[in-house]
Amino acid sequence: MTRPTPESAVDPDATRPGPAAVTRKRSPARSGGLRTPSWVGWLFVAPALGFYAVFVLRPIALTVQYSMYRWDGIGASTWAGLGNYVKVFTDPDLFASILNAIKLIAFFSVIPVVLGLAIASTIRRIAESRLALVARTVLFLPQVIPLVAAGIAWSWLMSSTGLVNQLLTSVGLGGVARAWLGDFSTALPAVGVIGAWVLLGLCTILLLSGMSKIDMSLYEAARMDGAGPMREFFSITVPSLRQEIGVCVTVTVIAALASFDIVYVSTQGGPGNATMVPGLEIYYLAFSERQVGMASALAVVLMLLVLLVALPIQWLTKDRSS
């Protein structure tokens, strides 16, 4: 079973010189398996490519262009070269937003993937039960509702009089109760918890569906050889789930680096700059502080950062056996 991922999805025919090349020699004006002239194919692609070029590729190019200028969005712009980029990495506030996004990975990715793996392997044996089917629906709820709603609900749960403090007080931990999102030391982890809540269900179910494809006889053989649950987990489960883990990590890391909705709703980047992330900083710089050049430089850094993180994960977890 081969599942398409961006890398494995490149057309297999492209690297196979055999029959395709022969066909091409026979009828030079036509290419492809269906003897359709190439321009017909391009006509089919043209509308999609048009929208993509106008609303994605052009804006990307413009972001790169803006990032080299000092511009308030209204008046004349002045050439700044790489000055904006230097500032992204030297200005403590701007650089802190990038660091915050990286710290959020611990909550958005590490917790959902590690906890998801632990949960999925515990419930693997009852994956077909009625309870598990209900759970599949329930655990998907956070994926379906707007992130804004998740932000509002959790801000309320973690407020000074919210449920989290209520629970803490009831178990005698009233001393640590606080407005979690308003405290400098806990605001970023609190935002992280919201992200973990959103992504944990998706990861768990994704990993669980991957586990259901593992050959059960592998586990039986391992048990007969005297392997304990831990050994089983690390020698069979984790290696077999390489691809699913890769997907979970990719999706969640991008969600962490490019987070916006949750932070905007729950903390607006505060208190101070404690939860500022690049996405929100770009929004403020471009539309409140009118520093379009700086906003664009940060945007370029963010786009590259996401690409730099996503590509190696894809490469590492690619299914090489197929």
Partner 1 sequence: MIVGRREAWTGRLLLVLLMAVTLMPFVSLFFTALHPSGSYPSGVEWPSDPQWGNFAKAFQAAQMLELVKSSTLIVLGVVPLALLLGTLAGFAIGHLRMAGRNVVFLVFVLGLTLPFEGIITPLYYQVRDMGLLNTRWAIILPLIGLYMPFAVFWMRAHFVNMPDALSESARIDGANVWQLFWRIHVPLAMPALSSLAILLFLWTWNQFLLAIVLVDDPLKRTMSGALGAFQGQWGTDMPLLCAGSLLILAPTLVIFLIFQRRFVTALLQGSLKG
Buried b or exposed e, range 213-239, using 16+ CB within 10 angstroms:
eeeeeebeebeeeebeeeebeeebbee
Q: Quick check: 173 binds partner 1 (CB under 8 A)?
A: no
Residues, the chain, total?
322
Q: Per rule CB under 8 A, is residue 299 in the interface with partner 1?
A: yes
Residues 211/124, Cβ–Cβ less than 8 Å: yes
The H or E element containing residue 297 is helix 292-317
Q: Is 150 in the site for partner 1 (CB under 8 A)?
A: yes
- Kindly state the tokens that stand for 144: 């379906």
β-strand 36-37 against 30-31: which pairing, if any?
A: antiparallel
Q: Is 23 in the site for partner 1 (CB under 8 A)?
A: no
Least distance to partner 1, CB of residue 272, Å = 20
User: Site size for partner 1, by CB under 8 A?
Assistant: 112
Torsion, Cα of 137, 139, 145, 149 (10° steps):
140
Asked whether position 189 contacts partner 1 by CB under 8 A, the answer is no
Residues 6+ apart with CB under 8 A from 52: none
- Pick the binder of partner 1 from 204, 237, 275, 317 (CB under 8 A): 204
In three state form, how does the secondary structure of 36-66 look?
Answer: EEHHHHHHHHHHHHHHHHHHHHHHHHHHHHH
Considering only residues 35-54, where is the footprint of partner 1 by CB under 8 A? 35-36, 38-45, 47-49, 51-54
- Is residue 245 near partner 1 by the rule CB under 8 A? no
Does position 234 bind partner 1 by CB under 8 A?
A: no
Q: Would you count residue 318 as binding partner 1 (CB under 8 A)?
A: no
Give the span between the Cα atoms of 315 and 14, in whole angstroms: 20
Does position 315 interact with partner 1 (CB under 8 A)? The reply is no
Helix axes 187-211, 147-157, angle to 10 degrees: 120
Q: Does 19 bind partner 1 (CB under 8 A)?
A: no
- State which H helix or E strand residue 310 sits in: helix 292-317
**Single residue of 100, 117, 306, 317 touching partner 1 by CB under 8 A:** 306
* Site for partner 1 contains 99 (CB under 8 A): no
Candidate segments 75-83, 91-99, 234-242, 292-300, binder of partner 1 by CB under 8 A: 292-300
The SS3 of residue 82 is coil
Q: Which stretch binds partner 1 (CB under 8 A): 84-92, 160-168, 180-188, 212-220?
A: 160-168
Dihedral sign of CA atoms 38, 39, 44, 50 in order:
positive
When asked if residue 190 is in the footprint of partner 1 (CB under 8 A), the reply is: no
Q: Does 202 bind partner 1 (CB under 8 A)?
A: yes
Member of 27, 122, 212, 235 binding partner 1 (CB under 8 A): 122
Closer of 51 and 89 to partner 1 (Cβ)? 51
Query: Which residues inside 250-279 make contact with partner 1, applying CB under 8 A?
Result: 250-251, 254, 257-258, 260-261, 264-265, 278-279
